[in-house]
Structure 1
Amino acid sequence: MRNANQVTCEKRTYSKEFNSHQHKFGQFLFPLQGSLDIQTNLQEINLRPDYCLYLPPMLDPKYCSVDRNEFLILDIPIHYLPEDTSTMYIGLDKQWSSIRYLLLEEARSQRNSSSLVNLTKYVTNKLHISRLPSIEYIHKHFKEPISLETLAKIEHYHPAYYSSWFKQKMGKSPSVYITELRLREAKHLLVSTAWSMTKISEELGFENSSSFTRWFVRCEGMPPKKYKILNKG
């Protein structure tokens, strides 16, 4: 039985049949070979080799893998974690791939526990400042139509649950969050460019300048041309 107060980093494999166990610690899973199906009471996740996954404490996940597999697992005691963490499905970019490499070296050597602890603290700090995948998607695509179903699918949640989860995390609904991003960009373009209303409306994904103007008045209480005059220079 592992010590829930001790950082553990090791390779593990999973069987073809679902097995479950509750975690009293946070857990990072880094695929080395194969994929892994993970089920929680709210999500179904297929962890592929180009992603890593963080699972918060006190979940009761079920794991299975139908192919030959190997995963690098980092078990993180609660006292190292930011408060109120949630499941994060993270793309293995260069930085996370480098983290995986360093953790793999630690798992191989197991010589210096302090270096593993320091690396774990670095990982949990990144967890604290990392955007959730659906938030990242919103920031990249807020000028386009975004459905609730698309956002929920990114986080592997049911759409009905995703709305309440998002509001709990961000303090506002997804639609309000997206509207605020578009409005901030609209104000920036009105003040910092000489673009026409038609060009700005096209940039922000509106059908025409009339629909953009109606939307801006509804959000800001004045037409965009008036806002531009009042805030220019």
Structure 2
Amino acid sequence: MSIISSFTINSSEEIQTHVHDYAHMILPVQQNFYVKFLGRSYDLTPRQIGFVPPGVVHEFGCPGKALTLNIPAEMVKSTDLVFLTDNCVLDIDAKLEPLIFLIKQEVESEDSSKESLRYLFYYLYDKFVERHRLPSLRYMHENYAGPVSIAKLASIENYNVSYYTDWFKKKVGCMPSEYLQMVRIDKAKEILSTTRYRILDVAMQVGYNNGSSFSRAFKSVTGMTPNQYRHLASEAK
């Protein structure tokens, strides 16, 4: 099981630079938190949450206090990472305040439970993604098991097919068909790691008509077959 760790940054104005294979969720507590990666800089306030993708060199500094959650890379879906990298700041509104309060309490508590922190993170992660996800992306996440046409996706965003395809690639960084494939494979990974369904059954549940096309798509995204992934997932438990 993936474990979330956390640490507190206290009054360090010196700009530091590092890189690691996990993601960050940054919650400033006192004063702003400066972070820069992929050529963009952000000045997070205590009324904001910041996300730093895994494997990205970033520099940071904080003259006050901030809490940071270290999120294992496997807990961040590839389908979310493609747009979270460009939409990495979330304002804390009245609905999020109770959740942020609980997370801060959990991080600073001597009796902090890693499992509790894991559940709180997933709830925050869902809210983060929900705020930034485009309507057509949301449609793919809700309808991945059935046929999804480019024409339908374009109509959701009120664009014609040609414009939508170009617009989508600029916004998300890949073609709609590639994104839909990632959605389906992410869901398949979840099913493979938590059930004993046959590969064909998994394929049908995530929108593929046969096991061979599913296996090819799965290997193109993950570098391994569905059975290999299931075996590794069972060993990791």
Q: TM-score when scaled to structure 1?
A: 0.52
* Residue 103 (structure 2) aligns with: 103
In structure 2, which of residues 65, 73, 89 is the aligned counterpart of residue 70 of structure 1?
65
Match of 2:233 in 1: none
- Letter in structure 1 aligned against 2:94: K
Question: Is this contact kept in 2: 1:37–1:44, CA < 8 A?
Answer: yes
| 1:102-121 pair list within 5 angstroms | 102-111=102-111, 112-121=113-122
Q: 2:108 & 2:172 partners in 1: Cα distance? A: 42
1:11 CA displacement: 1.9
Instruction: Kindly provide the CA deviation profile for residues 47-89 of structure 1, in whole angstroms up to 9, marking residues without a partner as x.
Output: 1222111111111110123xx4000111111222222412311
Residue 13 of structure 1 aligns to a residue whose secondary structure is: strand
Aligned residues: 140
Instruction: Name the counterpart of 1:58.
Output: 55
Q: Contact between 1:80 and 1:124, CA under 8 Å: does it hold in 2?
A: no
1:44 correspondence with 2:22: no
Match of 2:3 among 6, 13, 37: 6
Q: What are the Cα deviations for residues 93-118 of structure 1, in whole angstroms up to 9, with x where unaligned?
A: 12332222111111122422221121
- In 1, Cα distance between equivalents of 2:168 and 2:15: 29
Q: 1-side partners of 2:172 and 2:108: how far apart?
A: 42
Give per-residue Cα distances to partners, 1:190-227, cap 9 Å, x unaligned.
xxxxxxxxxxxxxxxxxxxxxxxxxxxxxxxxxxxxxx
Q: Name the CA shift for 1:50/1:127 in 2 (closer, same or farther; >3 Å).
A: closer
1:114-193 alignment to 2 at 5 Å? 114-131=115-132, 165-168=170-173, 171=176
Letter in 1 for 2:173: Q
Specify the code of the residue in structure 2 equivalent to 1:75: N
Q: TM-score, normalised by structure 2?
A: 0.51
Distance change >3 Å, CA 57–CA 116, structure 1 → 2: same
Q: Which amino acid aligns with 2:75?
A: Y
Give structure 1 regions of 4+ aligned residues with deviation exceeding 6 angstroms: none
Distance 1:165 1:27, change over 3 A: farther
Name the Cα RMSD after superposition. 3.0
The equivalent of 1:82 in structure 2 is: 77
Of residues 15, 18, 39, the one that matches 1:18 is: 15
Aligned equivalents of 2:133 and 2:10: distance in 1?
27
> Residue 26 of structure 2 contacts residue 50 of structure 2 at CA under 8 Å; is this kept in 1?
yes
Distance change in 2, residues 1:74/1:81 (3 Å): same
Deviation at 1:169, TM superposition (A): 6.3
Alpha carbons 1:82, 1:128 under 8 Å: kept: no
Structure 1's 34 and 97: CA in aligned 2 closer, same or farther, altered over 3 A?
A: same
What is the deviation of 1:124?
A: 2.3
Gaps of 5+ in 2: 135-156, 158-166, 177-237
CA distance in 1, matches of 2:68, 2:106: 12
More strand by share: 2
Instruction: Tell me the CA shift for residue 167 of structure 1.
Output: 4.7
Distance in 2 separating the partners of 1:170 and 1:33: 41
Q: Which amino acid aligns with 2:107?
A: A
Larger radius of gyration: 1
- Give distance in 1, aligned partners of 2:114 and 2:23: 18
